[in-house]
Structure 1
Amino acid sequence: MSQHPPHGHSTRLSTLVIGALGVVFGDIGTSPLYALKESLAASAGHGGMPTQADIFGVLSMIFWSLVIVITVKYVVYIMRADNKGEGGIMALTALALRSPNATPNWKVIIHLLGICGLALFFGDGVITPAISVLSAVEGLELATPVLKPVVVPVTLVILIGLFMFQRKGTEGVGALFGPVMVIWFLVLGALGVHGILLNPQVLQSLNPLHAMQFCLVHKGQAFIVLGSVFLSVTGAEALYADMGHFGCRSIQLAWTLLVFPCLTLNYLGQGGMILHDPETLKNPFYLLAPEWGLYPMVGMATAATVIASQAVISGAFSAARQAMQLGFLPRMNVIHTSEREEGQIYVPAINWILLGAVILLVLGFKSSSNLAAAYGIAVTGAMAIDTTLAFGMVLSAMFGWSQGRAIAATVFFLVFDLVFFAANALKIPDGGWFPLFLGAMLFMLMSTWQKGVELSREALAKDEIPLAPFLRQFQENPVPRSQGIGVYMTTHTLTTPRALVQNLQHHWSIHETVVILTTEFADTPYLEDGERLIEVNLGNGFYRVVARFGFAETPDVPRALKAGQLFKDWSNPDETSFFLGRAVFFANRARPGFPLWRQQLYLGMQRNASSAASWFQLPPHRVVEMGAGIHL
C-alpha cells in the first residue's frame, strides 16, 4: 500500500503548489466576483449609494477577515492539526477522539460534532458550484442584456460537464487547471493595481480602525453586512479538507506568496474604482477590466469558478471515504484516479448526488444574488466545529497549552465564527434554510447508519459461539480436511464466524488451513507495513489474523495478507476461498430507541451498500457467501 507521499523536494513541491492552485483555491479565489458587490449592497441598504467611509469599512472588514480567519486560523494553526498528512473534518474528529482531553462524555460530543461538520461540508459542496459558476456566467449580461436568458442554461451545461469530468481524477484536474489559476490570480492582482491607481486613498482601508468605526456607527446594519463579508472567506474548509491531496506546505506557500496578495489587491482595486466612479457598483469585478477584456474575463472567470467547484467536490470525495472507513456512511464504490497518489479518488455515488442537488439549486434560485442568501450558513457552522475540535482538543494537546490558553484561543476564534454564523442566520428565510435542511437530512442519514450498524452487531453477537470452546470441540471431534486455505471474515476476534459454523453444518469438512480474519480501521489515515497485520497461531491449522488499515486507505485484503508470514509464499490465490457471512436483517417493531421508520431507512441503505467482497478487493471467483436472516 502506498504511503502518503513526502513533500520535501523542491521540484515535487513546485508541482504540488501548482496542483493545489488548480484544485484547492478555486473557491476562495472566485470570491471577488460577488463578495464586495454583495457587501456594499448590504451596507447601502435599499437602493442607496455607499459613502467613502462605508467602502473603507467594508474593505477593512474583508481584509482582516482574510487575515484572521484564513491566514492565522487555518493556514498557521488548523493546518498543523493534520492526521499523518490528512486534513478535513473526519481527520480532525479522529484526532480529537485520541486527545488526552477527550473524556468519555466529550467523546460523545466529538462524534456528534464530526457528523454535523461532515453534513455541513456536504451542504457547502452543493452550494459552491452553483453560486460560483452562476456568478461568472452572469458577466454575459454586462456584455449585452440579450444574453440574460441563456445564463441559467449555460451554467447547467458547464456544471454537468464538470461533474462528468470527475472520473478523470484530481490529478488530471489539477494538472489542467493549475496553470489557469496562476494566470487568474495574476490577472486579479494586475486589475487590482489598476483600480488602486484610480484612487490610491483606498489603501487606507487596510487600517482595522475603519472596520471598527463602521461597526460602531452602523451597529445593526454592520451585523447584516458581516453576512456578505463572509463570502470573502468561503473556501477555508476546502484548504483543510484537500490537504491530503497536496500537502500542508504547498498550500501554505501558494496562499502566502500568490493567493492572499492578489486577492487583497483585487478587493482594494474594486474599492478604488467605485470611489472613482460610483456607477461601477452594479458589478465592480467585471467593470474593473477594460471594455475589450470583458469577454476574456468572463471566459477566465468561468474556468476559475469551475475550479472553485472542484475544490469542494474533491474534498467531498475525501470526506466521504473517511466517513465510510470510520462507520458514518455505508460502503460506496471508490475509484482511484492516480497510481501514485493514494488520496486522489472518485466516488461515483457522491458525484451524482451532488450534481442532482446542484441542478435543483440553480433552477430554484436562478441568480448568484439569490444564492448568496443560501451561502454561508453551512460554511460558518463547519468552521465553528473546526475551531472547537482543533483548538479545544487537538492543538492544545499537541503544543502542551495550558487549559487557560486553550480556552482563550478557542473563544477568540469561535467568537468570529459565531458572529459570522449569526449574521448569516438572518438569511434563513431568504434561502439560508436550504443548507440547514440539507445538513439535517445528511445528519439523520449518518446517525441512522451508525446506530443501525451498532444494533446489527449486537444482533449478530447474540447467536455467535465463543471461539475457544469451538476450537476445543473441533480438536476432540475432528472432521475431514480439504486442501487449500479458507479465510473467514468476521467483525469479532473472540467468536466463531457464522459462515464457518454454517459451512460445517452443510459440508462436514473444512480446509486444512483456516484463517479467521478481522479487519480494523485505525484512527490515523495511513499505516506502516509493520502495523498492518497481526497473526496468531491457534493450533490445529487455525489462525487468527487482524488486518489493519488507515481511514484514508483502500482496504485491499489480499494485498495486506501477502505482507504477513502466513501468506508470504501465496503463489496460487485460487487455492484460497474467502467466506463471508451475509446477514439479511429485518425490522423489529419491539426495538426500543430506534423507530420503525429509521430501521427501514437503515435497511434500505444497507441493501444499496457496496458488497463486502468488492469493498475489501476480494477475487470475485473465490468468494463464498453464507446467508442468514436476523431481526434487529
Structure 2
Amino acid sequence: MSSDGVSTHTDDTNLDDVVIPQENPQLNGRSLSWTKLRRVDSLDVESASLGHSAATAMGGGMGWAVVLQLAFQSIGVVYGDIGTSPLYVFASTFTDGIKHNDDIIGVLSLILYTLTLIPLIKYVFVVLRANDHGDGGTFALYSLICRYVKVSLIPSQEVEDRDVSTYQLELPSKSLQRASKIQAKLENSNFAKYALLFATMLGTSMVIGDGVLTPCISVLSAVGGLKEATSHMTEDRIVWTSVVILVTLFMVQRFGTDKVGYTFAPIIFLWFSFIAGVGLFNFIKYDTSVIKALNPIYIVDYFIRNKEQAWISLGGAVLSITGTEALFADVGHFSVRSIQISMCCVTYPALVLAYTGQASFLRKNNHLVANTFYESIPGKMYWPMFVVAVAASVIASQAMISATFSIIQQSLSLGCFPRVKIVHTSNKYPGQVYIPEVNYLLMFACICVTLGFRTTAKIGNAYGIAVVLVMALTSTFLVLVMIVIWKTNIVFIILYILIIGSVELLYMSSVLYKFDQGGYLPLAFAMILMTIMCTWNYVYRNKYYFELDHKISPEAMREIIGETSSPRLPGLAVFYSELVQGIPPIFKHYVGNVPALHSVLVFVSFKSLPISRVPEEERFLFRRVQPRELQVFRCVVRYGYKDVRNEEVPFERLLVERLKEFEESGGGEVGDLDRAWRSGVVHMVGEHEVAAAKGAALWKRVVIDYGYNFLKKNLRHSNRVFDIPHKRMLKVGMTYHL
C-alpha cells in the first residue's frame, strides 16, 4: 500500500480479535440513549461512559451458587503465589540462623500483622471496593479516576458524559470543598496528568514483570525440591525440567481461566488443608506459647535486639505477601464477593495456622530453620506434602499470568499498549481473557530468566521489589480515590497513610537494599515495557491531536460533497476512525483520489471509555449532518475496556439496524437506508502512516520513525480490531507528519 493512495484489501485472514457482543433481544421498545442527549452540534457531540451496576461488581447481582462457584475457582487462580510462601519465608528471613529464641515470636508477629494489614484489610476490605465495575488492577484505578477527574491526556470528555445512566458522577457540594480543590488542581496541572499516567504504566509494568518472576521462582523451587528425593537431579537437569514445566504451563493458558481454575482449585484447596493441618499439629505439639505473637511489642523487641539485621530481614518477611496484587488484578475474572469469601474462609486462616505451626516447631528446633517447611512435616505426611507442594508451587504461577492478561486488556483499550488479540475464554464470565501474543512473550521471558539465573536466590531478591513497589503505587491511587471519589473522612485517610503507608515504605527500604543482588531484574523488565507503552501512547495521542487539528467542519463537508462532480453511487459507505469530534481529514484525501461517493455515508468512530463495560442499548450514538438530503451520518461506537465483541453478530448489521432506529426516532424515513444497504456496503479504513515532521528533534524521530513503526508493523492492524469484512474493504492511505 502506498502512503498516499487507496488500495483494495483482499486478505482473508480470520478475524478473532475482540468482537462485538450479541444483539440484545430485549432492546426493542427501549428508549435509546441518543433521544436523551441534547443536540449541540451534529458533528461534535461526545458520547458518555457507562457500565454495569456496583451490585454486579460486588457479586450482588449473582446468585450465591455462582458466587461460591467463583470463590472455589479463585482458590486455584488467585492464591497459588501467596499460598506457597510458607515454603521459604522463615528460611529467607533467618538467613544467618536464629540468634535469640524470642526472635521467632517477633518474626511470627511481623508476618501475622503484615498478612492482616496488607492482603486482608488493605486489599480484601478496602482496595477491592475501588474496583471499576468489577474490574481491578492499576489501569482500573486510573480509569476510575479519569472518569471523575479530567486527567486523561486525550480530550474526549464532554458535558454529555454526566447525562447518561450509571455514569455515577457526583458533583462536590460546599461541604466537600477538599475533594473539589484536589480535583481542580489535578485537572489544571499537566504535570499531574503525566505523573498519573506514568505511575499507571509503571505499576502495570511491574505487575507484568511479576508475571515473569513468579513462574520462574515457583517452578525452580518446586523442581529443586526433587534434590531431596533423588541424587540423580543435577542442577542442569533441574533447570531443563523447569523449562519443560514452564512451557507446559503456558500452553494450557489457552483453555482459559474457567477450565484452568477448575483444574487447579482442588490442588490448591488440598494444599491449604495440608498446611493448616500440619500447622495446627505443630502448634499443639511443640510450643503453644507462640500465641504471644499477637502482641506487636515482640516486633519492637526484635528490632531492638537485631537493629540493622532486623531491617535487612524484612526482605524475607515480605515474601509472605507475594502475589497479593493478584487479589485485585484478578477480580475481573471472578467477583469481589467471591474473592472476599475465598480469602477470609480459606486462604487467610490456612496461612495463619501454617506460619504459627512453623514458629512453634522452630522454638524447639532453632538449627533447622534453613529447611523449616519440610523439617516440620510429620514423618508419614512427608511424601504426600512433597507431591502437593510441587504441584502447588507450579500452580502458583497462574495468579500473575491471569493478572497480566487482565491489565494488558485494560491498557490496550486506553491506548497504552500495542494492539494484540484478546480471546474471551468464558461465555459465563466476560472478565476471563487470554492473550496469545503476551502468553508466548511471557513464556519466552520465563525461559530466559530460568536459564540465565538457574537458582532461586537472585530471583527471590527481585521478587520483593516488584511486590512492594506495586503495592505502594496502588496505595497512592487509592488515596486519590478516597479523597476525590469516596469523599472519605480525612481522619481515616490519615490513618491509612500512617499505618498502611508506613508499613509499605519500611518494606520498600529493605528490599531496595538487595538491588544489586538480583533486585534490578523487575526494574529492567519494567523499563522495557515502559518504553513500549510510552512509545505507543505518545504517538497514539499525537495522532489523535493531528486529526483533531485537521478535522473537517460541517461547512467544509458540504463543500466537499458539493464539489464532487461524479454522481452519488448506490450503496452505503462506512468510514472508520478513532476521532470522535468530527470528520477525519482522511475523507478529503479519499475524495481527492476517488471523486465518487455512495448514496449514504456513515462516519464511524470507535471510542474506548474509561469504564469497564457499556450496555449494548447505549453503545451507538448517531448524528445527522445537515442538510438532510446529503444522507451523511456520524456514529460514535462506545466500548468499555472489558467489553466483548461477538463475531456471530456482524458489526455491519448492528450498525444499520441502530441507524434505522435513529432515523425512526427522529421521524425520518428509512427507505433510502434500506435501498443503500441492499445495493451493498463498502468499508473505508484509514491506513495511517506516521512520520516525524521535518525539523523534529532527534528523540522524536527515533520514537516515531523507528519505535512506533516497528511495533505497528509487527502487531495487529486496525482492520483486524474493527471486525471489518475483508472482501468489501478499501484502505485509504495517508501519511501524518507529527
Q: TM-score, normalised by structure 1?
A: 0.93
* Aligned: 1:69 with 2:118: yes
Report deviation, 1:410. 2.9
SS of alignment partner, residue 566 of structure 1: helix
Aligned to 1:333: 421
**Deviations 1:419-452 (CA, angstroms, capped at 9, x unpaired):** 1111100110100011111112211221121112
* Aligned: 1:618 with 2:727: no
| Paired amino acid for 1:28 | I
What is the CA–CA distance in structure 1 between the aligned matches of 2:573 and 2:261, rounded to whole Å?
44
**Deviations 1:291-314 (CA, angstroms, capped at 9, x unpaired):** 444343233123222322111111
Report deviation, 1:408. 4.0
| 8 Å contact kept, 1:143–1:294 | no
Q: Give me the identity figure in percent.
A: 30
Aligned to 2:76: 22
Aligned to 2:377: 289
| 8 Å contact kept, 1:138–1:148 | no
What are the residue-to-residue correspondences of 1:179-218 with 2, within 5 Å? 179-199=266-286, 200-218=288-306
What is the CA–CA distance in structure 2 between the aligned matches of 1:495 and 1:97, rounded to whole Å?
23
1:363 to 442, 446, 451: 451
1:351 to 439, 445, 465: 439
**In the superposition, relative to structure 1, how do residues 316 and 574 fare at CA in structure 2: closer, same or farther (>3 Å)?**
farther
| 8 Å contact kept, 1:526–1:551 | yes
2:660 to 562, 566, 573: 566
Report deviation, 1:155. 1.5
**In the superposition, relative to structure 1, how do residues 176 and 462 fare at CA in structure 2: closer, same or farther (>3 Å)?**
same
**Deviations 1:197-240 (CA, angstroms, capped at 9, x unpaired):** 23222222232221121122222111111111100011111000
Aligned to 2:687: 582
SS of alignment partner, residue 623 of structure 2: strand
1:522 to 598, 601, 609: 609
**In the superposition, relative to structure 1, how do residues 534 and 459 fare at CA in structure 2: closer, same or farther (>3 Å)?**
closer
**In the superposition, relative to structure 1, how do residues 478 and 493 fare at CA in structure 2: closer, same or farther (>3 Å)?**
farther
Q: Which runs of 5+ in 2 are unaligned?
A: 1-20, 23-50, 150-181, 663-669
Report deviation, 1:379. 1.3
| 8 Å contact kept, 1:99–1:393 | no
What is the CA–CA distance in structure 1 between the aligned matches of 2:654 and 2:641, rounded to whole Å?
15
Report deviation, 1:499. 4.5
* Aligned: 1:397 with 2:502: no
| 8 Å contact kept, 1:40–1:58 | no
Report deviation, 1:561. 2.5
2:243 to 136, 149, 156: 156
| 8 Å contact kept, 1:499–1:579 | no
**Deviations 1:246-279 (CA, angstroms, capped at 9, x unpaired):** 0000000111011000011111111222223334
| 8 Å contact kept, 1:33–1:136 | no
Aligned to 1:551: 641
2:319 to 217, 231, 254: 231
* Aligned: 1:58 with 2:86: no
| 8 Å contact kept, 1:40–1:55 | no
Report deviation, 1:512. 1.3
Q: Which runs of 5+ in 1 are unaligned?
A: none
What is the CA–CA distance in structure 2 between the aligned matches of 1:317 and 1:406, rounded to whole Å?
31
What are the residue-to-residue correspondences of 1:594-613 with 2, within 5 Å? 594-599=699-704, 600-613=706-719
What is the CA–CA distance in structure 2 between the aligned matches of 1:403 and 1:196, rounded to whole Å?
42
**In the superposition, relative to structure 1, how do residues 226 and 12 fare at CA in structure 2: closer, same or farther (>3 Å)?**
same
2:330 to 242, 245, 252: 242
| 8 Å contact kept, 2:80–2:392 | yes
| Paired amino acid for 2:483 | S
What is the CA–CA distance in structure 1 between the aligned matches of 2:555 and 2:382, rounded to whole Å?
76
What is the CA–CA distance in structure 1 between the aligned matches of 2:590 and 2:486, rounded to whole Å?
53
Stretch moving more, 237-246 or 327-336: 327-336
Stretch moving more, 298-307 or 576-585: 298-307
What is the CA–CA distance in structure 2 between the aligned matches of 1:244 and 1:559, rounded to whole Å?
30
Report deviation, 1:99. 3.8
What is the CA–CA distance in structure 2 between the aligned matches of 1:331 and 1:410, rounded to whole Å?
37
**In the superposition, relative to structure 1, how do residues 503 and 121 fare at CA in structure 2: closer, same or farther (>3 Å)?**
same
Report deviation, 1:530. 3.4
Q: State the superposition RMSD in angstroms.
A: 2.4
What is the CA–CA distance in structure 2 between the aligned matches of 1:373 and 1:505, rounded to whole Å?
61
Aligned to 1:492: 579
**In the superposition, relative to structure 1, how do residues 589 and 263 fare at CA in structure 2: closer, same or farther (>3 Å)?**
farther
**In the superposition, relative to structure 1, how do residues 212 and 49 fare at CA in structure 2: closer, same or farther (>3 Å)?**
closer
Report deviation, 1:509. 2.0
**How many pairs does the alignment contain?**
626
2:733 to 622, 627, 632: 627
**In the superposition, relative to structure 1, how do residues 170 and 192 fare at CA in structure 2: closer, same or farther (>3 Å)?**
same
